[in-house]
Amino acid sequence: MEKINDSNLYKVFIIVPLVIALFTGGVSLYSKISVEPAAAKLISSAETMKQGYVLLREPQLFAGYRYWDSDGTAVKNTIRYFDFMIFSGGEIKEEEKVYLELLLDRRKSGSMLGLKTAMFMLIISAMGGAALYLENRKNITE
């Protein structure tokens, strides 16, 4: 019986999850390192709250404003309120900062989900690598 070489299959199992991990991890890390601190700084001051909101209005990849989970209704109402206010030329009040923090928390949870997804994909990729290593060793010994 002809021996089946699974090397190519293992290579796919290494490369595809690795590419997904690099993409989701990269996007999420960028959010963690760059966007979230900048947004937190902007919403901490009354003068820059509007800029902070505009920055947060662009959703994180894993925390879009299109799909609604159980906590999402508050976020939806928040963006409706602030969209209208800024479009109409209004100002965000100091006491409304808590709603901006709600958006920041959603972004943070989205980037954390992205990082966890990247980690999961890296584990699959590593498992593919281990399987490929074992396959190659088996081929050499035979």
Partner 1 sequence: MYKLYLRGILLLAAFSLVTSCAKTPERVISPSVKASVVQGEEKSWSIFFTGGIKNENDSTAFINIEGNILLVNDSGEKIASVPFKIPAILPFETGVIKEKIDIKGETAEKVFSMLSISPDKLGTPDEPGNRFLEDKNVKLDSIKFEKKDIVKLLGEKVK
Nearer to partner 1, 38 or 127 (CB): 38
Contact call for residue 57 and partner 1 (CB under 8 A): yes
Contact call for residue 47 and partner 1 (CB under 8 A): no
Number of residues that bind partner 1 (CB under 8 A): 18
Contact call for residue 54 and partner 1 (CB under 8 A): yes
Q: At residue 60, what is the residue type? A: Q
Q: At residue 32, what is the residue type? A: K
Provide the CA 20 distance to its chain's centre, in angstroms. Answer: 12
Nearer to partner 1, 53 or 99 (CB): 53
Find tokens 């989970």 and name the residue.
69
Look at residues 58, 21, 20 and name the one whose alpha carbon lies nearest to residue 36: 58
Look at residues 33, 17, 34 and name the one whose alpha carbon lies nearest to residue 118: 17
Which of 22, 65, 122, 127 forms a contact with partner 1 (CB under 8 A)? 65
CA 90/CA 68 separation, integer angstroms: 27
Q: Which of residues 75-134 bind partner 1 (CB under 8 A)?
A: 76, 79-80, 83-84, 86-87, 89
- Residues forming contacts to partner 1 in the complex (CB under 8 A) are 50-51, 53-54, 57-59, 64-66, 76, 79-80, 83-84, 86-87, 89
